Amino acid sequence: MKGNEFVKHISNVAYGSTLKVVSRINSVNCKEWEAEKQLFEGNSKLLKSQKAVRFYVEDKNPSYNLHHYHIGHIDFRPKMESICDAYLPVPPQNNFYVTCKKSFKSDDPFNPTILTVPYKTPNPKLSLCSPPTIWILLRILSSELSKEYISMREILDSLPQGSTLSPISSDSYRDLCIKHKLSPYFYIGTRMKKFYETIEKEIESRNNDYLLQSLYDSLRNYSGDSESFIMNSDLLYSYIESEIPVFLTFKAEDLGEELNYNGEPVDEYHSVVAIGHTLDDNGNVPEFIIHDVSYSPFVKISRNFIDEKLVDAMVVLPEDIMIRFEHLMSHNFSSELFGKIVKQILPLFSSEEIDILFSSGKIQIRPFLMSSQRIKFWFTNKYIYENDVCDLYSKADFPKYVWFFELRNPELSDNYKCSGHFVFDATMDSSFKSLVLVNLPTFRLWYRNGRIYSRSFDEPSFSSLKIFRSP
């Protein structure tokens, strides 16, 4: 594909055929391309003089963006056979939540920023799918965490020499992440777990064959051997809701079937980055939204596909975060623990009634990983919350990062309401215990200046609260 064909393809796949090219600049100073072209050996004067080509795009529906000259742009490499970078608007679909979108600079004079997830495709002379997928992930995190910009050139330079046009595992990016004070965590999916189970049976049938056992041990050493290292749709949702993109790897054949690819896959495995999810009318998550650098931005894969076909995954977090979501769950911070806390705070419920509330789904736990700045910014907004809730979050102290849990009752008439909050330390900060804040109708607990405070109410102080990121 070239230029206009690329735009038409993306428009058909992600935008319901509503995206169109509104103008074109044949020579634009694209930072990514200027860095990338220096990777070519024997960098000729002709190559040095080549510039990226920029397409500005607009929505065909005039009511969508009446006052803007364009709503995003795509920078193509000089021959327009691949995308160097693209900043496109989130498709205006119902119940379509790109939670990982960030604010990036735009050259639209009417709208100087664009909320999106950047996109790019591989340069076929430099790499396969994995490096541009990592570029997207790190581009989101660099914006969220105020980290320095990481170019494709730096990503490729960090890989073992001669490996960039070969399949690359997620583990190859470990050193790059650590250099930028990020911590990569690796997981296996159900497909890989089944593969392990097959090897285990084969080892047993061959009387502990040494070579097979060595292969198995090396694989387990890479990905971990406990249930806490398995990525499923629930764990993926916890990170996606926390605005943390997740690097996912599938068999290329499986992903091709899920997305109705045309053509033969380039490699046996294919990597994508998860950036959001959809919701149905009951508040459930049937699909996840991904950027696929070999297909299109903003495409959907089913929740079942994650649980059945995922090979492995990588989550990249700030180095300060020591407690991950799966740690909370594996250390009994599950519905059982929440039930005990609720029982102590709401003694009108019996243990059996609380067990029923959780097991029946009448109380759901919605997790978020947040910075202390984010939790202060959102929950002290007096346009959203009552004064006493704002005061609680204003006076409370928090570690640098926290796990924030909403207790939700899906039977509430308003889908955008929850029944209370629990906040846990995600950093192992010695100034705090694990549980750092509770906000429930008849009980509150918080830290301030190294001391813990609590308060009980004879009557509920609220009936429900607006959920995080509610409209």
Q: If DSSP codes are grouped into helix, strand and coil, which group holds residue 368?
A: strand
- Is 352 within the bounds of a domain? yes
Average pLDDT over residues 62-91: 80
By residue range, what is the domain housing residue 399? 325-466
pTM, to two decimals: 0.85
Pairing state between β 465-466 and 287-292: unpaired
Question: Which is higher by pLDDT, 428 or 355?
Answer: 428
336 located within any domain:
yes
Residue 413 lies in a domain: yes
Tell me how far apart the alpha carbons of residues 182 and 177 are, in angstroms, rounded to a whole number.
Answer: 5
Q: What pLDDT does residue 139 have?
A: 92
Residue 382 resides in a domain: yes
Confidence of residue 228 (pLDDT cuts 50, 70, 90): very low
pLDDT in tens, 151-183: 888 898 888 775 666 777 788 898 899 888 898
Give CA–CA dist 255/425, Å, rounded.
37
Rounded-to-integer distance, Cα 87 and Cα 98, Å:
14
Pairing outcome for strands 401-408 and 420-425: antiparallel
Closest by CA position to 151, among listed 173, 134, 166, 164: 134
User: CA 215, 218, 219: angle at the middle one, nearest 5?
Assistant: 85
Half-sphere CA count of 301, side-chain side, radius 13 A: 30
Q: Looking at the predicted structure, is the pLDDT value of residue 218 above 70?
A: no
H helices present in 44-151, as ranges: 45-49, 130-144
Examine residue 338 and state whether it is found in any structural domain, yes or no.
Answer: yes
What are residue 73's DSSP bridge partners? 56, 87
What whole-number distance in Å separates Cα of residue 394 and Cα of residue 225? 42
Per-residue pLDDT at 168: 78
Q: What pairs with residue 289 in β-bridges?
A: 276, 300
> Is 7 or 433 the better-scoring residue by pLDDT?
7
> Contact 427/321 with Cβ under 8 angstroms?
yes
- Residues whose CB falls within 8 Å of the CB of residue 168, separated by 6 or more in sequence, listed in order: 127, 128, 130, 131, 159
Residues contacting 208, CB < 8 A, separation 6+: none
> Residue 362 above 90 pLDDT?
no
> Based on the structure, what is the number of domains in the chain?
1
Residues 70, 60 contacting (CB under 8 angstroms)? no
User: How does residue 211 score in pLDDT terms, banded at 50, 70 and 90?
Assistant: low
Q: Give alpha helix (H) positions in 146-185.
A: 152-157, 174-179
**Domain membership flag for residue 384:** yes
Six-digit token pair at 242?
A: 């926390």
Residue 81 has what pLDDT?
A: 86
The pLDDT of residue 68: 53
DSSP bridge pairs for 438: 422, 445
The mean per-residue pLDDT over the stretch 112-135 comes to: 90
pLDDT of residue 55: 94
429 within domain boundaries: yes
**Stretch 237-242: mean pLDDT, rounded?**
92
Say how far apart CA 42 and CA 6 lie, in whole Å: 29
pLDDT of residue 361: 53
Distance CA 403, CA 372 (A): 10
Q: Is the dihedral of CA 383, 389, 391, 394 positive or negative?
A: negative
SS3 call for 370? strand
User: Rounded to an integer, what distance in angstroms lies between the CA atom of residue 82 and that of residue 53?
Assistant: 11
| Amino acid found at 145 | L
Q: What is the pLDDT of residues 291-331, one digit of tens each?
A: 999 999 999 999 999 999 999 999 999 888 887 877 766 54
**What pLDDT does residue 268 have?**
85
**Which residues neighbour 128 within 8 Å (Cβ) at sequence distance 6 or greater?**
122, 165, 166, 167, 168, 266, 267
User: What is the C-alpha separation between 436 and 425, in angstroms, rounded?
Assistant: 6
pLDDT score of 378: 92
What is the predicted pLDDT for the residue at 200?
A: 61
pLDDT top residue among 282 and 306:
306
Residue 37 lies inside a defined structural domain of this protein = no
- The residues near 403 (Cβ < 8 Å, ≥ 6 apart) are 323, 325, 328, 367, 368, 369, 370, 423, 424, 425, 426
Between residues 200 and 191, which one has the greater pLDDT? 191
Q: Angle CA(132)–CA(137)–CA(141) in degrees, nearest 5?
A: 140
Radius of gyration of the chain measured on its C-alpha atoms: 24
Q: What is the pLDDT of residue 222?
A: 47
User: How confident is the model over 401-413, as a mean pLDDT?
Assistant: 76
Q: Are 173 and 313 in contact (CB under 8 A)?
A: no
Total residue length of the chain: 471
